[in-house]
Amino acid sequence: MSHPNSLVKNNTIKTLITDNIDLWTSAIKKRNGVGRGGAASSVLKGKIELTGIKKLRELILELAVRGKLVPQDDNDEPASVLLERIAKEKAQLIADKNLSNKKQKQKPLPAITEEEKPFELPKGWEFERLGNCSTVFSGSSFKSGDFNSISGIRVIKITNAGVGKLIETDEFLPESFLEKYQSFQVFRNDMILALTRPYISDGLKVSLCPDSYHESLLNQRVAAIRAFQYPEYLFLNLRSPYILNLYKNRFGGNGLQPNLKMSDVTELVVAIPPLAEQHRIVAKVDELMALCDQLEQQTEHSLSAHKTLVEVLLAALIQSKNNAEFQQSWQQLNEHFDLLFTTEASIEQLKQTILQLAVMGKLVPQNSNDEPASVLLERIAAEKAQLIADKKIKKQKPLPVITDEEKPFTLPSGWSFSHMQDICSLITDGTHQTPKYSDSGRPFISAQCVKPFNFMPENCRYVSEEHYQNYIKNRKPEFADVLLARVGAGIGEAAKIDTDLEFAIYVSTGLLKPFKEFLLSEYLVLWLNSPVGRGYSERNTLGKGVSQGNLNLSLIRAFVISIPPLAEQHRIVAKVDELMALCAQLKTRLTEAQTTQLHLADAVVSNALNEVI
């Protein structure tokens, strides 16, 4: 006779999935990064986590190990009988000295206390320590010179430990090692568990040994768990949120690096069902996980199609040849605006398109009454010549005339191209001296204080007044100058100095002093942060691949920048500010919606667990 519980009786778990498909597939968040051994979703190259489906998978595993996923059957042999049989088998192996690892300690494990039992078990189930229902051993400390990448006996190292699946690499030990290290040999369906940093955000780093690693050798800081009965169920148990959270709670908040001792593994308390029910549970989990796979694939396809559609429609704006084409493309976009900009990636794409349109002269209409940029550039040249004559700035070597091949796009009437050198009185960087920092004093700015459109002096360090005075010689930053990150991860990111704060800059930071009477610093920052400006920075970064690279000053001076009339510069900056505020509102609404979806997913999971407990 079966004893179906409330969740199983009406096939509610499947209903829970199908009735909440929109919730599972819409609960999405940006990934913070993938730890070593993790498997990121393929969506947007791992930048997106399908959190709803992840929570659904966790719920399935949690219900499985609590005995709430499939009905119990009175005809099943109870787990107590199974565990007695395992105990006899293990005792005989010990007597025969036939355990896999002779170094394994055989002293009896402590009895399970009531406080260690995490939840109530169904009839026929038992709690047992992992070391009593399996053989557990760790690997040998092979020397680094023992390994090769060509041939021999495959070896499992800590770097092979993955979440749910072994990470395969070409690591071998000599064939001759097998006889000497036979007690460290692992076989297919042994469970492989990382002892150092045993978990990441995606789960416990435990996997089944695949056929390709059958009869391989185990290296140090990795444990092998060999089940006496049906390893697939024990593997499922170890992947459950219960086990993951148990280890996380043990190490969380104490500042310790997670390092499992063998006792942390052997004394682990696991829930053991009758053997027949183990088979039913594994089959049901496989069925439901396959359904999750389908949901994940459908969601990924939908997100990918959405991303492509946004890219195509935004590209049409940039590629429009005249105002009529632009208006037609904009109308298509505007009609479906609320449906298109519903992801963080699409909003970022919109922001980049706004910047690109701005520097191409397509964001605001031209006015024939505006003084053309060519006249503006003549005025800048005259002022620059006077400053050179007055010996206030140094004369620079003229750059070659800009060729048609160097012009990235066709400009509207009234615009002109110019080298960056010709619109600035100075382009330099900070001190090349190794700074002598102090706890207080004058602010000292590096590239980490410069993000797109955002000058962040609060991230600075400090130098003494004496060193400050030395560092600002011929390179004193002033209000409305432009800072450009030229070394490090954010090369090309630019911000306007929007404070009267007096500070010095490091070599990682570029300093641009535009002729502010004729060129708005805000427009120059806008151009530098636009796709065309970042493209110049990317193409001209030296040393990529060897280090983080650097943006050479002579190359910055040769940037070909599109210059609008001054009046249009004001209109462009105002329009960009307006549209960026709209993007910020879209992002806020998206964040609020995503938070709501995540909370709903948590609530559904919690309610499902409460229903069956």
Read off the pLDDT of residues 436-481 as tens digits, 9 standing for 90 and up: 899 999 999 999 999 999 999 998 999 999 999 999 998 999 999 9
Q: What is the pLDDT of residues 148-196, one digit of tens each?
A: 999 999 999 999 999 999 999 999 999 999 989 999 999 999 999 999 9
What are the φ and ψ backbone dihedral angles of 502, each rounded to 5 degrees? -95, 125
Q: What is the 3-state secondary structure (H, E, C) of 172-235?
A: EECCCHHHHCHHHEECCCCEEEECECCEECCEECEEECCHHHCCEEEECCEEEEEECCCHHHHH
Residue type, 335: E
Q: How far is CA 288 from the centre of its chain?
A: 27
Bridge partners (DSSP) listed for residue 427: 512
Q: Which residues contact 317 (CB under 8 A, 6 or more apart)?
A: 326, 329, 330, 333, 353, 357, 362
State how far the Cα of 489 lies from the Cα of 448, in Å rounded to an integer. Answer: 9
pLDDT digits (tens, 9 = 90+) for 94-138: 777 665 554 444 678 999 999 999 899 999 999 999 999 999 999
User: How much is the pTM?
Assistant: 0.71
State the alpha helices, DSSP H only, in 43-167.
51-65, 79-95
At 442 the pLDDT is 95
Q: Which of 610, 608, 598 is nearest to 12 (CA)?
A: 608
CB 50 within 8 A of CB 25: yes
Nearest CA among 332, 339, 335 for reference residue 312: 332
pLDDT of residue 6: 39
pLDDT of residue 613: 43
Cβ atoms of 128 and 269 within 8 Å: the answer is: yes
Across 206-220, 237-251, 358-372, 546-560, least confident range: 546-560
Tell me the residue ranges of DSSP E strands in 302-447: 416-419, 424-429, 437-438, 442-445
Dist CA 280 CA 274 (whole Å): 10
Geometric angle at alpha carbon 368, from 366 and 369, rounded to 5°? 115
Q: Which residues of 240-255 are buried (b: 16+ CB within 10 A; e: fewer)?
A: bbbbbeebbeebeeee
d(CA 79, CA 128): 10
Amino acid at 154: R
Contact at 8 Å (CB) between 265 and 223? yes
| pLDDT reported for residue 499 | 95
Mean of pLDDT values over 196-220: 92
Q: Are 371 and 394 in contact (CB under 8 A)?
A: no
- For the chain, how far is it from start to end, CA to CA, in angstroms? 21
Q: Which DSSP letter does residue 196 get?
A: B
